[in-house]
A and B are shown apart, each in its own frame.
Chain A
Amino acid sequence: AQSVSQHNHHVILSEAASLELGCNYSYGGTVNLFWYVQYPGQHLQLLLKYFSGDPLVKGIKGFEAEFIKSKFSFNLRKPSVQWSDTAEYFCALGGMNTGFQKLVFGTGTRLLVSP
């Protein structure tokens, strides 16, 4: 079975602070990892994804994430957050089951950036 844990449910930061959101996963096979963001009143949007290759993945809007296989982690980072980064962030794991990838999400982290 595959699972994703996001331990920070709510994070409050001031503008220009650095951000790191934790994501740990459990799965014994090949994984694809994703971070999605949901801004208030908007659809889920893909921030970045890791399939293979360089474990440091850069996404949109200055976000990056690092895949650390030994720690089963895929933490999301941003050096300096903006008020517009206020949103809910979801880590997701796509585990390959008999050739079919099933996407499982973490419970999400609500980020509030104060101006």
Chain B
Amino acid sequence: SQTIHQWPATLVQPVGSPLSLECTVEGTSNPNLYWYRQAAGRGLQLLFYSVGIGQISSEVPQNLSASRPQDRQFILSSKKLLLSDSGFYLCAWSSQGGYTFGSGTRLTVV
């Protein structure tokens, strides 16, 4: 069966520190992968999506970047976190119209 793993579940980081959130998918190959952010009162915002290894599309200008070094691995990064980067980050994958979401990472930048 297909599963999606996302870690860590919670993270508290100081302003200016780097960030790396990892998402891995099992049980499927060549999935479309997504990073979403859920900020308080703003719903789910699509940040990045990827249709293949090394292929990243950014939806909104921001302080974050994404990479896909392997077929089933999707990484969200930042060199220097801002207070406004706080939020709930969700990884998702899709295949044939269906979507599966990870359990999310709650990031608090202090």
Contact = CB atoms under 8 A, between A and B. Distances in A.
A45 B52 CA distance: 25
Nearest to A44: B101
Interface residues of B, number: 21
Interface of B, secondary structure class, is strand
Interface residues of A, number: 21
B97 A32 contact: yes
B51 A108 contact: no
Given A43-B103, A43-B104, A44-B90, A102 B46 contact: yes
A103 B43 contact: no
Interface in A68-115: 90, 92, 94, 100-108
A46 B97 CA distance: 12
A86 to B, nearest CB: 18
Nearest to B96: A101
Given A43-B103, A101-B97, A103-B99, A108 B49 contact: no
Given A46-B98, A105-B44, A107-B43, 8 more contacts: A6-B43, A44-B90, A44-B101, A94-B97, A102-B49, A103-B92, A103-B99, A107-B42
18 contacts: A32-B97, A34-B99, A43-B102, A44-B101, A46-B99, A49-B98, A51-B97, A90-B44, A94-B97, A100-B51, A101-B32, A102-B49, A103-B94, A105-B45, A107-B41, A107-B42, A108-B43, A108-B44
Interface of B: 32, 34, 36, 41-46, 49, 51, 90, 92, 94, 97-99, 101-104
